Amino acid sequence: MLITVPTTRTVEELAERLPKACAEEKFGVLGTIDLRAKLREKGQPYERACLVFEVCRPDVARRALEAAPEVSVALPCRIAVFEKPDGSRMLATIRPRELLALIGPAGMDPVADEVERSLRAIMAKAAG
């Protein structure tokens, strides 16, 4: 269900590299959520870095929405960058085909596969 990419880069390096990798794949970063900071704001201490990047490729999102507006529940795509308990770092995202299969619109596999190829490339470039 997940696409994961281990990396030796720091979370800070990944936060700099990921938007550049997105741009190379015609994706934009719509926002970044720092889950460690958000949890701390809510009185829930969490020690490991965990950033969630909301990313989108507008032309593909428009095509998907025109075909099946219910895919809006899965937009934008998310790429997480986090520290694991052992201190290693990882990038992860949900496979678009698996996610769209949960939602149910038929005929979305070509779009999902296109997005998955791009997400894999983005994560590999950021991690490399």
Could you report the per-residue pLDDT of 72-118, keeping only the tens digit for each? 999 999 999 999 999 999 999 999 999 988 887 788 899 999 999 99
pLDDT value at 25 more than 80: yes
- Integer Cα distance of 16 and 75 in angstroms: 22
C-alpha distances (whole Å) from 102 to each of 6, 76, 94, 108 are: 26, 16, 12, 12
DSSP code at position 76 = S
Phi, psi of 104 (to 5 degrees): 105, -10
Check residue 104 and give its pLDDT: 74
User: Number of structural domains, the chain?
Assistant: 1
**Domain extent for 29:** 2-127
Higher-confidence residue of 120 and 105: namely 120
What is the reported pLDDT for 103?
A: 86
What is the percent of the chain with per-residue pLDDT over 70, rounded to a whole number? 100
Cα dihedral 33/36/39/45 (nearest 10)? 180
Q: What confidence category does residue 39 fall into, taking pLDDT thresholds of 50, 70 and 90?
A: very high
36-64 mean pLDDT: 96
Per-residue pLDDT, 43: 98
**8 Å CB contact between 72 and 56:** no
Q: What's the pLDDT score for residue 127?
A: 98
For the four alpha carbons of 75, 81, 85 and 88, in that order, the dihedral sign comes to positive
E strands, the chain, are 2-7, 28-34, 50-56, 77-83, 89-94
How many C-beta atoms surround the C-beta of residue 87 within 10 A? 7
